[in-house]
A and B are shown apart, each in its own frame.
Chain A
Amino acid sequence: MEDEKKELVPKKQSLFPIQAEDIVDNALQNLDEKQAREITRKAADEVVRIAVEKRKAEYRNSAAQEEMQNLIRNADLLDKSVGDYKINSTFETASGTTNVEIRKSKLTSANIIAITIGLAVLVLLIVFLVLRN
């Protein structure tokens, strides 16, 4: 019960395993027999399509998980072997697309600021020395 409360989409609301009747409801009123048959068949087809979509989503999820593990390993290898690197990866997951960018550079923004300040001090020093002479 506690787990169910935590679910983003509560299990009780899910239509899985759904039945064709679940998605036809009162739609068959005021239709002739042939139409009613077609609609019921279409609803059954949709149930199958949704089941296939669910399986595809599960597959995408497990594939993305594996690819992320690979990305972690690759980043770790690069970390050990080179100083500067940039990785861009895209993963197709069950819910959409994840984009990851990992960038490592010896020239961090803190370093750039330090170098800029250093250069400024150097320039000021040179100017000071030139003007003094």
Chain B
Amino acid sequence: MVYLILAIAFIVLVGFVYQKYKSLLPLFASKSSASFHNAELVKTLLNLDEKSFDELLVLYKMEFGAGAARYARKTYQKWKAGKVRPNRQTFSRFLVHLPKVMSYDLKCEVLRHLMEEYCAKDKYELTVYTDDWERTLEPLVRKIIDKPYTAELPAPIEEKLRWLAEGEMQAARDILRKSQVEEGKIAVSMLRQEFENIEKLLDSTTGKRKVTHKLKFPYGTITLKIKRR
């Protein structure tokens, strides 16, 4: 009887701990076993913009026939939603064979998606005041803007997708990196004006105010809680 009560108490405790911390579980999950799965890599490809994806399907039809292309088009939404997992053949067709016939632009788009999906991302959360935000934020912003220069795809992906190591793709990476650094610079170029707007809002309103601002960069985010002294 005592053991039964202890077992029930243990199950309840495990259930409670699971409910409380289940949101943290993905943080501890092994990235290499989950995210670099062939099916996941194919799903990354399915997030290409419409024009690029159409181009991809035209190539697919040319290479693997109308029937295969029809199936791919029909199953595309199910792959995307995760209802059907793309098999090894689908992965191989999309990410090993097709790159050989893809246009350079399309390969660059695929590379951009892979990098934005799989390169490590930084997340920062901090509290700043309207009179000290610049001093607090500047070193962090500089670091995150320059991050594309050091961003690398995980080794298992590079091993699976050998075409990424070709000379023209290395050049594509350089272009992409510089372009992403520029995107970061654009994002912060109007930050002073944005803070002026926020300060004005805090000055001109009464009551309890909560202001948060999320800065978005290609390889990370900075979430700010903005306060006024």
**Nearest opposing residue in chain A for B181, CB measure:** A15
Partner among A79, A97, A101 whose Cβ is within 8 Å of the Cβ of B206: A79
What is the minimal beta-carbon distance from A91 to any residue of chain B, in angstroms? Answer: 9
Which stretch in A39-47, A113-121, A124-132 binds the other chain? A39-47
| A57 CB contacts on chain B under 8 angstroms | 186-187, 189-190
Distance in Å: Cβ of A112 to nearest Cβ of chain B: 13
Which residue in A27, A75, A95 is a CB contact (below 8 Å) of B205? A75
Contacts of B188 in A (CB 8 A): 8-9, 95
Indicate which residue in B171, B211, B214 contacts A31 across the interface (CB closer than 8 Å).
B171
Number of A-B contacts (CB under 8 A): 158
Q: Which B176-220 residues sit within 8 Å CB-CB of chain A?
A: 176, 178-179, 182-183, 185-194, 197-198, 200-201, 204-216
Tell me whether A30 is interfacial, beta carbon within 8 Å.
Answer: yes
A27 lies within 8 A of B174 (CB): yes
* Range of interface residues on B (Cβ < 8 Å): 35 or more
* Neighbouring A residues of B191 by C-beta, 8 Å: 8, 94-95
Q: Which residues of A contact B213 (CB under 8 A)?
A: 93, 95-99
Question: Is B49 an interface residue when CB atoms closer than 8 A count as contact?
Answer: no
Closest 5 CB pairs of A and B: A104-B207, A27-B171, A23-B178, A94-B190, A101-B210
